[in-house]
Amino acid sequence: MKKLLLPKSYYLEFAAATLLYIVNVLLTLFFPYFTAHKAYYDSTAYITVLTTAYLIYVIRIHLTAKKSASDIAVVLFTFFILWELSYKLGLIHNDLLIPSPEGLFHVFVEKPAEIGADVLGSLQLLFWGFLLAVVSGTILGLLAGWIPRVREVLLPLSNVITLIPPLMFSAYLIMIFSTFRQAAIAVIFFAVFWPTFQGMVARVAQIDKAVIEAARTMGVGTAGMLVKVIFPYCLPGIIKSISKSLRGAFMCLSGAEMLGINLGIGYFIEKYKSFADYRCVLAGIVTVGVITTIIDLAVNKVESTVIRWEG
């Protein structure tokens, strides 16, 4: 039971976050509009988001006992209060460009199937582009790190290519590949492959020479050296780099989806931007933020579990 109780020094911050959450809900349900707006939306989705955020905060602060959780909750709920008040008091005049909180989150009630399909499409693009890049970049980096002549050819080339933004290749990739989907995967591939390759070369160079000599003394050949000695030695570094590589892939994902494919959250944003429906555009941006955060947290959790001995 004591584990569920917060330290006394946390009560003030917890009470402030809780009070702000309650104020948010009351403002949404009972505070009237003091000006006419073009559109009014049901507040169920917005209140659900507020409640979910509050529950996540409560769980997190009890599990981690970090005051930063309260700080984040206070900032978040204060932001929503100011947004709600600004809208209802008429301080925001452009409904088209800046929707109400209720209007923004009501998009997820109006278009759940469309958003779900686009999120799935984005994850498929990300999966294939990222998987191909990490596997091939790791293998080639392993070979280049071990074989000097391969390294002397590919490393200078990679230093040049990594300076070019991956999206710059998009116009050319569209002409090479038969579908926009393949071109989008290729863009993500370029965003991840060369950094993965360079990181692997650097890790191989950092291997303790005593480990290599000990393996050679035991009669380990080249193939065995690469597979049984060098790769396991570099594996923790590979896992640690996945989170950073994913961020690079996400930076290119939405841009890649705007190449012309008709599926993906980037396509969702681009489509509704062309309709000047910025409520849906903002909903798409929020979706990207939520999905990327969830994946980043999952990757970090796996990383901390798999390479716990690195601690």
Name the pTM for this structure.
0.84
| Residues 284 and 244 grouped into a single domain | yes
Domain boundary among 85, 110, 135: 110
Range of the domain at 32: 2-110
Domain boundary among 66, 91, 110: 110
Interval 243-265: pLDDT, tens: 778 877 887 887 777 766 778 88
| Residues 53 and 142 grouped into a single domain | no
Residue 47, token pair as written in the block: 């209140």
134: CB partners within 8 A, 6+ apart: 192, 196, 238, 242, 245
What H or E segment, with its residue span, contains residue 157? helix 148-161
Number of domains in the chain: 2
Position 259 scores a pLDDT of 66
Q: Return the closest-CA partner of residue 183 out of 255, 272, 271.
A: 255
Interval 138-164: pLDDT, tens: 999 999 988 889 899 999 999 888 888
| Confidence band for 310, pLDDT divided at 50, 70 and 90 | low
Interval 87-99: pLDDT, tens: 888 888 787 888 9
Position 37 scores a pLDDT of 65
Interval 103-139: pLDDT, tens: 999 999 999 999 999 999 999 989 999 999 999 999 9
| Residues 122 and 265 grouped into a single domain | yes
Residue 265, token pair as written in the block: 């959250």
| Residues 232 and 271 grouped into a single domain | yes
